[in-house]
Structure 1
Amino acid sequence: MHHVPVRWSDMDAYGHVNNARFLTLYEEARVAMFFIGAREHGLGSFEEGIVIARHEIDYLRPIDYGDPVRVEMWISEQRAASFTVSYEMFDNDVLASRARSVCVPYHLANGHPRRLTEAEREFLKPYLEVAS
C-alpha cells in the first residue's frame, strides 16, 4: 500500500484528476515499491531497468483534488522475463480505479530485456497473488 498525493497539476478542466494522470499516480506507487522498497531489502537491480510493456486501466469514479489517494498493489502474474503489477486506487476509502502494468526487467546498458533474477523473485514472492 502506498499513499500518493494528488497535485493541482493532475486536474483536468472538469475539476477531476485527468485520466492520463492516473498512470502517473500508479507509477509513483510502483516506483516506491520497486526502487525504494526493493533497495530497503538490499535489492538494487530493478533500478538498473524496468520497462512497461502494457498498461490497462478501468476508471470507476472521478477523483477530485484533495487528500492523497491510496494505491494497493500486488503481483498478479510472474513469468521468467516479466511480471504484472495489479493495482486498486482508493479515494477516501472508495474504489476509484483498477489497473494492471506488465513490467519487463530490462538491461538498459545493453538495450534488451532480461530474465528475473532469483533475488528479484524472492522480493516479489510476498506480493504474489496466489490463484485459487
Structure 2
Amino acid sequence: MQSFIEQHPIYTKINVAWGEMDALQHVNNVVYFRYFETARIDFFNQINLLEDLQKTGVGPVISENNARYKRPVTFPDTVLVGVTISDIQADRFMMHYTVFSQSQNAITTQGSSQVVMFNFKTGQKAPLTEPLLAALKNNTRD
C-alpha cells in the first residue's frame, strides 16, 4: 500500500458498501464510476476548482469515461482511488484513476475521464486558467 500512496499522493479512501455488490457477489461495474466521481470531486475540491465554478461560472464537464476491471472487489473492503493527470490541452485534460483494495493489497481497477472546461454562462468550452494549469501540472502522470 505504501508504494501505491507514493505513486498517488492524491487519493480518496472509500468504504465498500454491502449494497454495492451485485448478484455475482462482487462490486457492480457501474459502482466504479461513482468511485471515480467521488475521487474526482475530492481532487477538484483540493485544487479549489469547484470554488472557482461558483465565482466564474466556468467548470469541468466529463466528455468520456472508461474503466478496466482487473480484480473483483467484495464487501467488506476499503479502496483507495488515486488520481493523476495527463494530456493537458488548452481547454481539457485527462484524469486517471487507480483503485487499490486494502484487503487484497492490490490494484483492482483503472479508469480515466476526459475533462473539458465549460463556461455555463455562454454554453461554450473555456480555456484552462493559469492557477488550474499549475495545479494540474503538479499532479501530472509520469
Shorter-normalised TM range: 0.7 to 0.9
What stretches of structure 1 move > 6 A for 4+ residues in a row?
none
Structure 2 letter corresponding to 1:120: L
In structure 2, relative to structure 1, the CA distance for the partners of 1:123 and 1:65 (3 Å cut) is same
Instruction: Check if 1:125 corresponds to 2:137.
Output: yes
Gaps of 5+ in 2: 1-10
> 1:46 offset after TM fit, Å?
5.0
Whole-angstrom distance in 2 between the partners of 1:43 and 1:20: 24
Within the candidate set 85, 98, 120, 1:108 is matched to 120
Within the candidate set 97, 109, 121, 1:97 is matched to 109
Q: TM-score w.r.t. structure 1 length?
A: 0.87
Output aligned runs, 1:1-132, within 5 Å.
1-34=11-44, 36-39=45-48, 44-46=51-53, 48-92=58-102, 93-130=105-142
Q: TM-score w.r.t. structure 2 length?
A: 0.81
Aligned residues: CA RMSD: 1.8
Gaps of 5+ in 1: none
- 1:64 is paired with a residue whose SS is coil
